[in-house]
Copies of this chain bind each other. A is one copy, B any other.
Amino acid sequence: MSSPVRIALDVMGGDHGADVVLPGAALALTRHPDIRFLLFGDETKIRAILARHPKLAEASSIVHTDVVVTMEDKPSQALRRGRKVSSMWKAIDAVRLHEADCAVSAGNTGALMAMAKVNLKTMEGISRPAIACLWPTLRGESVVLDVGASIGATAQHLVDMAVMGAAMARIVFDIEKPKVGLLNVGVEEIKGVEEVKEAGATLKAAEHPGLDYRGFVEGNDIGRGVVDVVVTEGFSGNIALKTAEGTAKQFAELLRGVMRSSLMAKIGYLFARGAFALLREKLDPRKSNGGVFLGLNGVVIKSHGGTDAEGFASAIDIGYDMVRYALLSRIEAGIKGRPRAGTSPDGDGSADGAASSELQVSS
């Protein structure tokens, strides 16, 4: 059997902290008995809960921390207050120190990304990280990125995201050449921003061996699952994700409303309750919980802050897979052979552009 996967948990993160994180870890452990946990947080609290989870206790080491990054902390506040001392920082730091293979936190996204960036730094050749999520579709799931790490991607950022997203998709879907699409708008007159067009031309010309570039996709194509990886800039990606979540909730609420609207509907509901349970299962947001930070020197997974143990376990599962199937070296390999965004200068004149052009040797 291969060596265990060591996962660092920010036990204090999220709306419910240890009360969700530890039962979630216990659940993930039943599915992956080869996980070893490093638990960062209030030791007394952790020990009290571990008493009810002997198997988890056996698989875990505890590192006491006093400082908690709250859901309201701004990234700058979190760094000021929590650097080196918070459970969130320490979990990430364990990855940097190679004491853990991956960190999972349900703490606030901005703080987690800021700490991960400061502590782990971006990978060689990558100028900035992205957050990828698994998006439930009619055909299964797709990887969608960036859902909110950075705003305003250059063509090269988009190309890099295509490569990183494909590396993740190879693991999650176990396919050699994931289909990749660039999110764009369908109005002929304006057909996309320059960066998206340039990234599209670059990906098309490059024929990168690690991905099958399928051109532009529109918002309605995401849910149809026409590609395995949807690449977009962080502002539009975040808005797409939240809008889809909102629409799904809206639909569910409408459905609940009409099923209570008459006696016949209520009787129908009783007959069909197995079908409704199936629907709930298919739509269960907990199953696709876990945003993967891509482009850092380490694997960091962000769980939804308000999720329950089942949802947190899913976030651990995805971290486990990313480690077990070597996300980082797959990204490294992909980035080495990645296409460079065409004729136009890379980047936007910021340090990003300069940093990545130094690495152009490999293209």
Contact = CB atoms under 8 A, between A and B. Distances in A.
Interface string A167-198: 00000000000000001011111101100000
Contacts of A241: 219
A193 B153 CA distance: 12
A258 B243 contact: no
Most-contacted residue by chain B among A235, A255, A267 (CB, 10 A): A235
A244 B242 CA distance: 10
A92 B119 CA distance: 59
A265 interface: yes
Interface residues of A, number: 74
Interface string A261-276: 1101101111111111
A108 B108 CA distance: 43
Contact of A271 (B232, B247, B271): B271
A268 B272 contact: yes
Interface in A237-284: 238-255, 258-259, 261-262, 264-265, 267-276, 278-279, 282-283
A309 interface: no
Contact of A269 (B243, B244, B268, B283): B268
Contacts of A246: 219-224, 244
21 contacts: A108-B188, A110-B188, A138-B253, A219-B238, A219-B241, A220-B242, A220-B245, A221-B246, A223-B249, A224-B250, A236-B239, A240-B243, A243-B247, A244-B247, A247-B247, A251-B283, A261-B275, A264-B272, A265-B272, A268-B273, A269-B272
